[in-house]
Structure 1
């Protein structure tokens, strides 16, 4: 596939030097390959290796890090702050692991309280009815792989035992982290969603808030 070929080319260049949108990275002119230079290697994974992003191309505040956390949510909870484009995995002793995320376009972001109903490794993707109504030319199904909008992992959000069609997932558009571009889901770097996936069991509570509130 095109993305895989472009990614391979980017990785070869690097080695010589030592809930879908289509966006051009803001750092790259339109006439330049939008994927070139964004990847510096891979992390072994199955059935596909995880592309590693050149973090120097991103704002340092979106790097995964442990921070002080003053919220009241219990350790093990996931808290997504749509306004700040951050996801927190609450830890004991007023700490949290913080990840930069991309969020939904204006009018598409969901807020509320849910739980992780299931988890997926390199999941397949299908658009929601709302997405198809907005973009009728969207493919109706995409298999797992480097071109898949859900990336390497996905956490499926449920309420009252039902899938609410919002996800926390990886992305093949790393330049979208920190932006408001998606159709509502919360997207993370593939390497970050892999890290979160390993830390979070099914049943974990997820709080998605906007303007400081997650109550609808």
Structure 2
């Protein structure tokens, strides 16, 4: 499995999954077509803020993708420009994999999550990784997914930092301040809850960063987009933390079909 962005095919996806204007052009060379997780209680409501970066230049497509969104009776706030970049925006990319479409592959060492589309294509999302997110690797499934999920601190969190977590012993209802954000995918292995989640976050400054707490989280807009794509029962593969960037180039035995090569002038 590998990923290689190719020409303008890596242009960011608009909020409706399309690309606009000249940003989307068929490549002339590559084959066309194709956070994890977090303990059920992996981040507390006080997640530490990292140093605020300067505001980068953003494309209109990226800014529109992460604008405020109505979501039922709630409203997902816009992501501030200072926490965004075109590099962080979700996009369709080349990704070489033998796994079937609908599989999720998390690369925590590269702060990336991939939703496989088939034909060596995937949707790439930027994720934030904390301590708990580095402690899980291997395969899991998604038997459950929730909108605006409830969050409850684990017994270990209550024991280690009761002054922080005791007020939330009975749990926190879903909402804008909930550490799991707007959406959560629940990871199980062997029929048992791993306590890891793929989820949104109210802390956008942690996305794309190695955070000191929590696990792997996405911008709420991306968590919502991924949630809508994923079916229950989907397979999740979490790559080892110390092996980032797998599947970013075609395998050595990859053969291009004649249609993928540039025709003679």
Using the size of structure 2 for normalisation, the TM-score is 0.64
**Contact 1:128/1:165 (<8 A) preserved:** no
The answer on 1:23 being equivalent to 2:48 is yes
How far is the alpha carbon of 1:135 from its aligned partner? 2.3
The answer on 1:69 being equivalent to 2:95 is yes
State the partner residue of 2:135: 109
Matches of 1:108 and 1:129, distance apart in 2: 20
The answer on 1:204 being equivalent to 2:237 is no
Runs of 5+ consecutive residues of structure 1 not aligned to the other structure: 1-18, 29-39
Q: How many residues are aligned here?
A: 185
Matches of 1:152 and 1:69, distance apart in 2: 27
SS at match of 1:180: coil
Pair 106,196 (structure 1): closer, same or farther in 2 beyond 3 Å: closer
The answer on 1:145 being equivalent to 2:175 is yes
The answer on 1:88 being equivalent to 2:122 is no
How far is the alpha carbon of 1:110 from its aligned partner? 1.2
Matches of 1:155 and 1:85, distance apart in 2: 18
Matches of 1:105 and 1:174, distance apart in 2: 17
SS at match of 1:154: strand
SS at match of 2:205: helix
How far is the alpha carbon of 1:160 from its aligned partner? 1.4
State the partner residue of 1:180: 210
Greater per-residue strand proportion: 1
Moved more, 169-178 or 48-57: 48-57
What's the RMSD between the two structures over aligned residues?
2.3
How far is the alpha carbon of 1:73 from its aligned partner? 2.1
How far is the alpha carbon of 1:72 from its aligned partner? 2.7
**Contact 1:125/1:149 (<8 A) preserved:** yes
Matches of 2:204 and 2:68, distance apart in 1: 14
**Contact 1:108/1:183 (<8 A) preserved:** no
SS at match of 1:133: helix
**Contact 2:105/2:113 (<8 A) preserved:** yes
Using the size of structure 1 for normalisation, the TM-score is 0.78
The answer on 1:121 being equivalent to 2:147 is yes
**Contact 2:131/2:215 (<8 A) preserved:** no
- With CA pairs under 8 Å and 6+ residues apart, which has the higher RCO, 1 or 2? 2
Pair 73,104 (structure 1): closer, same or farther in 2 beyond 3 Å: farther
SS at match of 1:185: coil
Matches of 2:100 and 2:129, distance apart in 1: 23
How far is the alpha carbon of 1:154 from its aligned partner? 0.4
Runs of 5+ consecutive residues of structure 2 not aligned to the other structure: 1-38, 54-65, 245-265
How far is the alpha carbon of 1:88 from its aligned partner? 0.1
Larger radius of gyration: 2
